[in-house]
Chain A
């Protein structure tokens, strides 16, 4: 079993749609969690950290469920510019592990 697993995707949604990605992790001692965004042929960039109480940044909402060992990312009112691959990252003692990523395409 992989340490970090994500929805395989791809997700193809119309503009304005709401889309959610899930990510599960195997190490219950994991300490912190992040969502990264990666555009085609670019490096991953931090989208947002995921806090225990859940957190929101504009149209993006991240949630953490430690008991079930999963994190989620919700994107509301999707824009064409949201098209990218979204990577889930799980950290324990600076050991940062990535999921395989979920590709999102937002269409007009």
Chain B
């Protein structure tokens, strides 16, 4: 069965510093991986996805993610954090087949960026 793990419940960084939010996955077949962000009382916003190709995927708001097949990881990164990046971040994997809609999410990581 597909699964996603986000080992950190919370990540704290200072504004201007680089940030990393970790994600590891377990899939059978090709991994289709996604990152989403959720602000308080809002739905999820799509940041980026990995399907195939380059291991470094660039997304919205300056975020990028590095796919590492040998370590089964898909960590989210940003070179310089902003206070406005503070939110809940979810890693997800698509559960195979032709269905587009069945995403399996990690538990989420709360990112706190302090001025």
Q: Do A and B bind each other?
A: no
Q: Which residues of A contact B (CB under 8 A)?
A: none
